[in-house]
Amino acid sequence: MTRVLMVSDVYFPRVNGVSTSIATFRAALAELGVEVRLVVPRYADEADEEGIVRVAGRRVPRDPEDRLLSWRAMRAAVAREAADCALVHIQTPFVAHYAGTAAARAHRLPLLLTYHTFFEEYLHHYAPFLPAAMLRGLARKVSRAQCNTMDGVVVPSTAMRERLAGYGVTRPLHVLPTGIPLHDFAGGERARFRARHGIAADAPVALFIGRLAREKNVGFLLEVAARLRRELPGFRLVIAGEGPAAGELEAQAAALGLADTVRFVGYLDRRAALPDCYAAADAFVFASRTETQGLVLIEAMAAGLPVVALAAMGTIDILAPRRGALVAPDEVAGFAARVRELLSAPVRRQALAVEARRYSIEWGDAIMAGRLAGLYRRLLDAGRVEGRAIGCQPG
């Protein structure tokens, strides 16, 4: 058994791609003989779990979903857990990054980082009072400095690898997307979800699932919906998720006269309600320009939903083969035309749905976890050659 310590400034119940990635890899790695311990935030009164250490923090200004962790408590917790582990794997660039780095150095352990978030394009949404150019420069500088202290850096897409290389990152960059647990998306009750949300059985339905934040470009999809409402009788857009832009998006939908067209259904439990939501839709739509991966596209495909999306940054890797998906132009009329084309052609839509399911198998969690376990082994072997201390021996 190899024991790895993952450290992060976010984790469930905070719902986002980083939390999902950590939980998915942790479960799949366990099947491969890799035990993953976590040091993550405490948000409220989460119950203790085996192998998960929670560290208290305070709410982040302008972002109440997240926590600013206590540096002293985080450093102590990470140092204590690292003493019994073979490798430290950092997931976020804030307090957890520096605590993980300090612990790995103290115990002479290999150090890996996953670069999940395209901060160059995100920061200005959360600090609009500062010059965007200054924030982009700061993001590049910090990312370069953090990555260049690692033994390796995992990136979820080739676009992100190229971007980090452009920043001046010289450490090995490993393209390794998060896989998905395919069985979680195999079921779902179409009629049950539609009845619950007042959607007619024969209505053409497009779906977006994700965090409701400005960088997700959901406002663009509302403009697409306004166009499709006029062109496609009975069209509905379902938006599932929560986030800081929820109120703004609901106001935009009202201003566009979409009260009967758009359903904001909030956060859905991944195991109970989410499969029904996927099953109720006819197509998945996605317009983010700054995704490092776009994992939700693969989830939709695993559920048998053909995708209409922009090919930008991390989604390029998923969409490049044109399997189970239509790539749309980055303008409202062209995007709406792709969605209308798909929803108006049931035979083609069904063929794309079958293709999407087959394609999603290549992105399964077991496959990606196997690749990560292999990377861990290579880092540990390199550490032994260099004479580093290994905190956890095979057993």
Beta strands 63-69 and 57-60 are antiparallel
User: Which tokens sit at 186?
Assistant: 């195999």
- Kindly state the average pLDDT of the residues 266-278: 93
Ramachandran region of residue 26, left (φ > 0), alpha (ψ -120 to 50) or beta? alpha
How much is the pLDDT for 65?
85
Ramachandran region of residue 217, left (φ > 0), alpha (ψ -120 to 50) or beta? left
Q: State whether the Cα torsion 370-375-380-382 is positive or negative.
A: positive
- What whole-number distance in Å separates Cα of residue 96 and Cα of residue 253? 38
User: Which tokens sit at 254?
Assistant: 């009202």
Percent of the chain at pLDDT above 70?
95
CATH number among 3.30.465.10, 2.40.50.140, 3.40.50.300, 3.40.50.2000, domain 182-363? 3.40.50.2000
| Cis ω for the linkage preceding 13 (within 30 of 0) | yes
pLDDT band at 10 (very low <50, low <70, confident <90, very high): very high
- What whole-number distance in Å separates Cα of residue 127 and Cα of residue 152? 30
In the chain, residues under CATH classification 3.40.50.2000 are 2-179+364-385, 182-363
Residue 393 in this model has a pLDDT that exceeds 80: no
How much is the pLDDT for 61?
80
Q: What digits encode the pLDDT tens for the residues 346-375?
A: 999 999 999 999 999 999 999 999 999 999
pLDDT band at 153 (very low <50, low <70, confident <90, very high): very high
C-alpha closest to that of 94 among 142, 56, 61, 58? 142
- What whole-number distance in Å separates Cα of residue 120 and Cα of residue 177? 20
Please, which residues have CB within 8 angstroms of residue 3's CB and are 6 or more apart in sequence? 34, 35, 36, 37, 84, 85, 86, 391, 392
Q: What digits encode the pLDDT tens for the residues 157-174?
A: 999 999 999 999 999 999
- Kindly state the average pLDDT of the residues 121-126: 64
Residue 125: how many other CB atoms lie within 10 Å: 16
Read off the amino acid at residue 271.
Answer: R
How much is the pLDDT for 390?
43
User: CB-based burial of residue 291 (10 Å sphere; 0-12 exposed, 13-18 middle, 19+ buried)?
Assistant: buried
CATH superfamily, domain at 2-179+364-385: Glycogen Phosphorylase B; (3.40.50.2000)
Q: What digits encode the pLDDT tens for the residues 79-101?
A: 999 999 999 999 999 999 999 99
pTM: 0.90
C-alpha closest to that of 347 among 306, 314, 385, 309? 306
